[in-house]
Amino acid sequence: MIPPKEFIKRIRPFSFLSEDETNILILGLEVKLFQKNKTIFKKGDDRKYVYIIFSGLVGLFDDEIAVDYISKGEIFGIISVRDFPYLLDARALEDTVCYLIYSENFKEVFYKNKRFSSFFSTFIKRRFHSFKKIASEKKFFEEATFVLDIEKIIYKKPVVAGPDMTVENATVEMVNNSISSIVVVDKEMRPIGIFTEKDLRKVVIQGDKLHPISKYMSSPVKTINTKTTIFEAFSKMIDAGIDHLVLIKKRKVFGVITGKDIRIQLEPTSSIITLFRKIIMAKSAEELQVIFNNIKISVAKIVLSGSKFFDLTKMLCTVNDAAVVKVIEIVQDEVSMDDFVWIHMGSLGRKEQVLATDQDNALIFIKTHPVKFARDVNKTLAKVGIPECPGDFMASNKKWNKHLSSWKNYFNDWFHNPTANNARYLSIFMDMRPVFGNDNIYKELIESIRANVTDKAIKALAHDAIHIEPPLGIFGIRGLHKGMNLKTYGIYPIVNGARVLAIDNAIFEITNTEERLKVLNDMGVIGNEMCHDVLESYGFLQDLRLKQQSIAVLNQSQENNLIGIKELRKVDLLILKEALKIVSSFQKLLMSKYDVKRVLSYLHTYR
């Protein structure tokens, strides 16, 4: 079989096609390479092809405004089958290989195969719908910039120097390349420091330009990896009060990003970044409350404009953490930040914060017991717009505001007596992440946990991950007309499964589900395919949930996790079913690995 056919057959909805139908498409197939920045078609051009991307990145533009980004395995130019000319400009943003299918052949298959065409009609409607929205509110798309990987805005190769280069030569390099910093690297291209204009000033005032730069460089250097979003990078700069971050790819220097680079991307100011800055500047809880509500709305809009869970959730988490830290700073008076650490658990702990998340926090102290402080923080957060936890998992609850030694005893007890209730505590607190205060307290607790993990606790947690079976029946998803809880049936089994596998493999400080699965994959605990499939399903389920909640925020109705058949598009329904199947096979893996079964009575007593 020729490779394009194999490739196409793996893409939904082409997988619905019969052999003959696929051959019709292949019959008119051409493969073309578009150079970066080359226009593929222009608005108003006569339709000739439907495009599938084999590799690269394409942007769709409406009067120079980015409407959509399309990458590997995705299709564009579809609307052309409906006898319209192309409605947008398409431009290659990287060197891009496209498969070109003749519109005529595409049309033939389109009318032949109902399942295939229904996928596209929904798809077309969806794109059309978003076009309309863009026309009325073009500004959404500026915001999508924040969730771009930082890698995408790096356009210069890094200028590097060995530690022995003289200040004089380094300065010449900087001038020649018109840059404000030079990265000092070892032989393996790993960064050992950075020499900036600021450091140069030090030399001018009291130094010698013939000295090696290593004498004046700032070290260690703040680094981020290339997959960090622009937004995260920006907040890291603000936090550290610096203007240069070194980008790392495979532990080697990949580039340098400056505050200016980011500001260029973000200006003209768009709402989120401005609001984020405002959080940092805020003085009172009242101010925060207003800002926070606006952020919720902006985020909801971004979600509906098509951003994906994995990108967004980290941004939401950054915003949320900033708000919490700000509240703590507002409230904090006598309490010393060396004496305690503020902990987030649950989805916040996992950096999987979505819009409807409650407060889930706790406090670990080593000297004085900050009772009033914790209560004030919780109350203020509620006022700001992060609701109190109905289960009372909050630092204001005496039970969750304890001395480090008590926390050690808690975990010890939970691991050694994993009753249903204790297993529940483990699943909540094993997602903990320090947010504010003294990190060393947290680290000491982790070391104590490391020594106390037991097999029976692992088994109990495995039970937790498998005991709810996705409602898959022979006729599709059971009970969907009444609404299905995405959290219970789809998201929890994956989150819980990733957690138990992580704990079992002594991964304690990584709490994010995506990161846990990837590390487990690297360690060989789960295979590539399982890792990929589970992450896809997880992303899809979370996207769906996030979309639901965003609609609720914008309509000012109650946010919830139920999804009903009416809210699902045909395509989503199809994918939802696939996603639940993958959840089910992930559970099977856990069942055989930990030798656990679904027991009816267990299920009844458990929840």
Partner 1 sequence: MDLKDTKFCVIDLETTGLNVKRDEIIAFACVPVQELKLMVNYAYYTLVKPEKYKIESMKYHGISIDDLEKAPSFNEAANNILKTLDGIIVGHSIEFDYMFLKKSFKKIGIKFEKDIIDIILIEKWLAKKDKNMKLDVTIEGLMNRYGLKDYYRHNAFADAFFTAQIFQFETLKLSQYGINSAKKILEIVRGYNYSHYHDNMRIF
Question: Where does this chain bind partner 1 (CB under 8 A)?
Answer: 1-4, 6-7, 10, 26-33, 35, 54-56, 95, 97, 100
The nearer residue to partner 1, 10 or 201, going by C-beta atoms, is 10
Count of Cβ atoms closer than 10 Å to residue 212 Cβ: 17
Of 598, 473, 486, nearest in space to 537 by CA: 486
The nearer residue to partner 1, 100 or 242, going by C-beta atoms, is 100
The nearer residue to partner 1, 357 or 521, going by C-beta atoms, is 521
Of 231, 265, 268, 266, nearest in space to 147 by CA: 231
> By CB neighbour count within 10 A (0-12 exposed, 13-18 middle, 19+ buried), where does 268 fall?
exposed
Count of Cβ atoms closer than 10 Å to residue 187 Cβ: 6
The nearer residue to partner 1, 2 or 175, going by C-beta atoms, is 2
Residue 446: which residues within 8 A CB-CB, separation 6 or more? 508, 509
Specify the DSSP class assigned to residue 469.
P
What are the Cα distances from residue 111, in Å, to 9, 339, 379, 419, 545? 18, 69, 60, 58, 33
The nearer residue to partner 1, 31 or 280, going by C-beta atoms, is 31
The nearer residue to partner 1, 77 or 349, going by C-beta atoms, is 77
In the numeric block, the tokens 């003209």 are attached to 268
Residues 523, 185: Cα–Cα separation, whole Å:
29
Beta strands in 552-606 (DSSP E): 562-563
Residues 56, 6: Cα–Cα separation, whole Å:
18
Of 8, 15, 88, 12, nearest in space to 45 by CA: 88
In the numeric block, the tokens 């930990």 are attached to 594
Smallest gap from residue 233 Cβ to partner 1 (A): 25
Q: Is 152 helix (H, G, I), strand (E, B) or coil?
A: helix
The nearer residue to partner 1, 9 or 222, going by C-beta atoms, is 9
Q: Taking the C-alpha atoms of 214, 250, 33 and 110 in order, what is their torsion angle to the nearest 10 degrees?
A: -140
Smallest gap from residue 36 Cβ to partner 1 (A): 9
The nearer residue to partner 1, 54 or 594, going by C-beta atoms, is 54
- Is the dihedral angle over the CA atoms 182, 186, 190, 192 positive or is it negative? negative
What is the per-residue DSSP string for 509-551? S---HHHHHHHHHHTTSS-HHHHHHHHHHHHHHHHHHHHHHHH
> By CB neighbour count within 10 A (0-12 exposed, 13-18 middle, 19+ buried), where does 125 fall?
exposed
The nearer residue to partner 1, 27 or 603, going by C-beta atoms, is 27
The nearer residue to partner 1, 189 or 591, going by C-beta atoms, is 189
Smallest gap from residue 539 Cβ to partner 1 (A): 21
What φ, ψ does residue 470 adopt, rounded to 5°?
Answer: -60, 140
Beta strands 29-34; 57-62: pairing state: unpaired
The nearer residue to partner 1, 27 or 264, going by C-beta atoms, is 27
Smallest gap from residue 97 Cβ to partner 1 (A): 7
The nearer residue to partner 1, 1 or 600, going by C-beta atoms, is 1
Pair of tokens at residue 421 = 């209730």
Q: Is 266 helix (H, G, I), strand (E, B) or coil?
A: helix
Residues 607, 603: Cα–Cα separation, whole Å:
7
Smallest gap from residue 536 Cβ to partner 1 (A): 16
Smallest gap from residue 604 Cβ to partner 1 (A): 45
CB 479 within 8 A of CB 565: no
Of 509, 432, 425, 431, nearest in space to 464 by CA: 425
The nearer residue to partner 1, 100 or 124, going by C-beta atoms, is 100
The nearer residue to partner 1, 157 or 372, going by C-beta atoms, is 157
Residues 21, 421: Cα–Cα separation, whole Å:
55
Q: Is 160 helix (H, G, I), strand (E, B) or coil?
A: strand
Smallest gap from residue 6 Cβ to partner 1 (A): 7
Specify the DSSP class assigned to residue 219.
-
Smallest gap from residue 183 Cβ to partner 1 (A): 17
Residues 40, 98: Cα–Cα separation, whole Å:
10
